[in-house]
A and B are shown apart, each in its own frame.
Chain A
C-alpha cells in the first residue's frame, strides 16, 4: 500500500468530522463557529458580501461550476417579492457522497454558510432540500437547526443583529432530477420534479416565482471559511480559475474509498494512489470517471490530470460533482456503461423528447450488446444518438447520459466488438439483424427491469 501524503494540506471543510460531537453547537462554537457570520452581519453590507465572494472566485461545487458570487449578483435588488435561498442537498450524482459527510458531521458549518449567503442576497427564508435517502443527515441537520434557533442564531433576531432568517428542511422523494436546480424548485413547490425552461433563471424567477438562489452544500460550507479566513487565503489554494478546498469522493476499485478533502487542482493519480490507497487487489488501472457518472470517462493513460475545472475541461471532461469512480483492469466496460445508461433511462423525467426516448433507447441497445445480440452498427448508432441528445433539452440530464455513453463507446470500442462477436451465434431477426423477438416476449432490457421489480431490489 502506498504511503499517505496528506499532511501538506490543512483540511478545512472536514477538519473536525472525525471528532466526537462535531455536530453539536457547543463543539462548533468551541472551535470558533459563527464568529465569521457575526462579523459579516455586523460589519458588512450585503453588497460587500457578494463582492467578496465574487473576488474569491468560488465556483459552485454541485456540478456545473458556476461562479457563486456572480450567481448571487443576478438577484434583483429592487423587488417587492420575497427572496429565497435554497440549499441543494439532494446529492444524487452516482459516485458522490461529500455533502453527506458535511451534513452528518458538521451541520453548523452549512448553517453558518447559509446564514452569510442569505444575508448577502437579503433573503429571510432558507430551504434545505435534502435527498430523501439521507435520513441520518436529515435528523442531524434538523437537530442543528433546532439548536441554532434556540441559541438565537436563526429566527427573528439572528445573533442579535436584527436580521431575520428562517430555515426549513424539505426531504426529496428519491428522484435524481430533483438535484437539477429547476427540477428541485418544482419539487419544493409541491409539483412533479420537472426542470423548467431557462430563462427566466431562478435568480430572477425561481421558487414560487420569486428570486431564488440555489447553492450546493459544499459551496455554502466554503462560504463560511471565505469569511473566516479571508478571500486571499481561499484564492491561495489551487489554480486561479476556481480555487479553494475541494471534497472528492473516491469510489470503485480502490483500497480506501471515501471522501477526501484536497486542494483544488490535485493530480488525479495522486488522489487515487496517495489518498485512496491505489487500485485494489494490486490490479492495473483501466479507467476513471472524474466527476460523477455524467462526466466523460478518462482512460488510464489520460488520468495524469489535475483535478480542477479548467484542466479537466482541457481533457474534454469535467470536475462535475467530484465523484471519482475508479475502474480496474477487470471491469467489463459494456456492463459498466449499461449500468450507467439504465440509471439515466430510469431517472429521465420524461418531459423532453430526445431525453425521454433517447435514454431508454441507448440503454436498450447497450443491454442488447451486453446480452449477445448486438450489431456492429449499434456502436455508431449509440454515438450518433448520444450526440443528438446533447443540447436539445430543457435540462442537461440528456447530456449527462450522452457524455459517458459517447466517451465509453469511443474509448473502449474494442470491448464492445468482443461482446458483439461473442454473441454472433444468437438467433436474430432476419430483417433488422436485431434480437429475435417472440410476440409478447420482453426484451432483455425489459426482462431485467421486471426481474428487478419482482426481486424487490
Chain B
C-alpha cells in the first residue's frame, strides 16, 4: 500500500493542496490565514486544550480545533465563517472570565496573545460579575515567577519542561477553574532551559525576574543576532532600550536551535554595560578615540620598518567576528607580517549538555572558533599561539596586539608578561584588568551586541550579527577602526558597509566562497566544508 503524499481540501472556498498528515492550523498559517491560538506552539506536541483555534469543518457536527485536526482529502474548512468566529469569541469570553485583566501592571503587556486575540477576535464588555478565582503568585525557581491568576492553563510550559528540557518540573495542579501551573514542593524549576517557559507563555503567568518591570516591550528595539555563549550559535533577538540590552529571547531557526535558547545565553548580557566594562582609550598622550586609527597605523608601520615585520605579533580571540579577523589579517599582510605571527586564544571549555528534545549546549564556549580557523588557519589556536608566546619570552617581539573580548575570561598571565616585555603593546579590552601594565595602550573592545558582522558556528553555519547597541560617541567598533587604519596605510580607499565588507571577505576566504551577505538572511547558510 503506498501512502498518498498530498491531500486536496478547500479552505474558505479555495482549493488547497497540503501534505498528508499536516495539521490544519499549519496549513492555514502557511496561507497567511489568521487562525488564533494559545496552547499550540510549532515546537511542541499539540494538546488542543485552549480551543481558540476552532474552525468550521463541513459535515462535522461541531467546530474542530485546527491544531489537532489533520488535513484530509475533500475536507472543507471555513476559518472565518460566522460560526467559527463566534466559537472563538465565546472561547475568549471564557478565557477572560477569571483573568485578572491587570494588563497595566503586567510585564507581558504588548506581547500577550490574550491581549492581541481579545482585540482581534473578542467581544467588548464582560458579563462576569462574580468574584474571580484566586491562584498563587510565587517563585518557581531559576528566576521564573508565577502569576497564577493570569495562567490560562495552556500547558505550553508543562510540555516544554517534559518534552524539550526533559526535566518535567512543571505540572498543572488542581482542577476546573482552580487549575494552575506549579512545581512540586521542594522541586523548583532548575533546568538550564527554563527561561524558555517565559518566552512561550502566551500570557503574563510566567515572568522572568530578570526582565520584570525593566521595560515596556513596545518601546524596545528588537535586533536579530546570534548568541555568543557557546559554539552552537543559537539565534536570538536582542531587545534594547536606551542603548541598553534589556533581555535576550530565542529566535526561531530550525537548522540550529528550533525555538529555544539556554539560560547561559539568555541571561549573560550584564557585562555589556557592567561596572567592569572598559571603555578607556589610552593612546600615549591622547585619550581621544578619534585618533585611534591613525595612531595604530603609524605605530605598526614604524615597528615593522624599524624592527622588521616578524617582530609584530597579534593575538585574536574566538569571540571576534569574521570581518574583524579578516581585517586584522589584511592589516598584518599589508605590513608583511607572516601569518604565523597571528595566534588565537579561546575560552575554557565547559560541559556539553544535551536535552530530551534534541537541544544541545556545546562544550566549546566560543562562538567563532570555526571563523578563526577558516580565516586565520587551523593552527591559530595551537602552534601559532604557542610560538608567539615563545617568541615573546625570547624577546623576539617588539610589538604586540591583543584582543581581549571574551566576557569573564581575562588574558592569561603569560600574555600579560609578554605585554610587559614588548616595546609597543596594545590591548583591545572588554573588561577592566588591573594586571595590564600602565605603559600598554588600550582601546575598547566591541561587545557582541555592538557588532555588525558574521560568525560561524560549530556546524559550519555562517550567521549574521546585527548591532543592537552603540559604543559611546566617537568610539569605533573594531571593524571600523581596522578599516580606517587600512585607509591610513593606503591599503584601502574607504570604509565599507557591513554588507560590502562581508562580500569582499567572501571573495577571499575559501570557506565563505559563493556566500553573499544578501543570501544569509535571518537563518544563515552553511559554509563550505561545514558539517551540515
Binding site for B on A (CB under 8 A): 175, 192, 197, 345-354, 356-361, 364-365, 368, 375, 381, 388-389, 391-394, 429, 432-435, 437, 441-443, 445-446
Known: A354-B51, A443-B130, A445-B130. A391 touches B61 (CB 8 A): yes
- Cβ contact within 8 Å between B172 and A192: yes
Q: Closest residue of chain A to B176, judged by CB? A: A348
- Cβ contact within 8 Å between A354 and B129: no
Contacts of B175 in A (CB 8 A): 175, 346-350
Is B333 on the interface with A (CB-CB < 8 A)? Answer: no
B193 to chain A, nearest CB (A): 23
Task: Tell me whether chain B's interface is mostly helix, strand or loop, or mixed.
Answer: loop
Interface residues in B98-141 by Cβ distance below 8 A to A read 98, 127-131, 133
Contacts of A368 in B (CB 8 A): 130
Query: Which of B4-12, B88-96, B430-438 has 4 or more CB atoms under 8 Å from chain A?
Result: B88-96
- Cβ contact within 8 Å between A364 and B131: yes
Nearest 10 pairs of A and B residues by beta carbon: A434-B129, A350-B179, A360-B177, A391-B62, A443-B131, A432-B129, A348-B176, A357-B94, A364-B130, A388-B90
List the count of A-B residue pairs having beta carbons below 8 Å apart: 108
- Cβ contact within 8 Å between B62 and A392: yes
- Cβ contact within 8 Å between A357 and B95: yes
Contact of A357 among B49, B171, B177 (CB under 8 A): B177
Cα(A355)–Cα(B235), bound, Å: 39
Contacts of B155 in A (CB 8 A): 351
Cα(A322)–Cα(B411), bound, Å: 81
Binding site for A on B (CB under 8 A): 47-52, 54, 61-63, 65, 68, 87, 90-91, 93-95, 97-98, 127-131, 133, 152-153, 155, 171-172, 174-179
- Cβ contact within 8 Å between B91 and A392: yes
B180 to chain A, nearest CB (A): 9
Cα(A346)–Cα(B94), bound, Å: 17
Contact of A351 among B49, B93, B94 (CB under 8 A): B49
Contact of A347 among B48, B65, B131, B176 (CB under 8 A): B176
Contact of B90 among A350, A364, A392 (CB under 8 A): A392
Cα(A381)–Cα(B127), bound, Å: 8
B153 to chain A, nearest CB (A): 6
Contacts of B128 in A (CB 8 A): 361
- Cβ contact within 8 Å between A197 and B48: yes
Contacts of B172 in A (CB 8 A): 192, 350
Contacts of B49 in A (CB 8 A): 351-353, 394
A448 to chain B, nearest CB (A): 12
- Cβ contact within 8 Å between A350 and B153: yes
- Cβ contact within 8 Å between B98 and A354: no
Contact of A359 among B65, B87, B177 (CB under 8 A): B177
Contacts of B48 in A (CB 8 A): 197, 394
Known: A360-B98, A437-B131, A443-B131. A353 touches B176 (CB 8 A): no
Contact of A353 among B94, B130, B174 (CB under 8 A): B94
- Cβ contact within 8 Å between A356 and B177: yes
- Cβ contact within 8 Å between B176 and A346: yes
A393 to chain B, nearest CB (A): 7
Known: A381-B127, A391-B61, A392-B91. A350 touches B176 (CB 8 A): yes
Question: Besides A350-B179, A351-B155, A441-B131, 15 other CB < 8 A contacts?
Answer: A197-B48, A350-B175, A353-B49, A353-B50, A353-B94, A353-B153, A356-B153, A357-B95, A358-B97, A360-B97, A360-B177, A364-B130, A392-B90, A433-B129, A442-B131
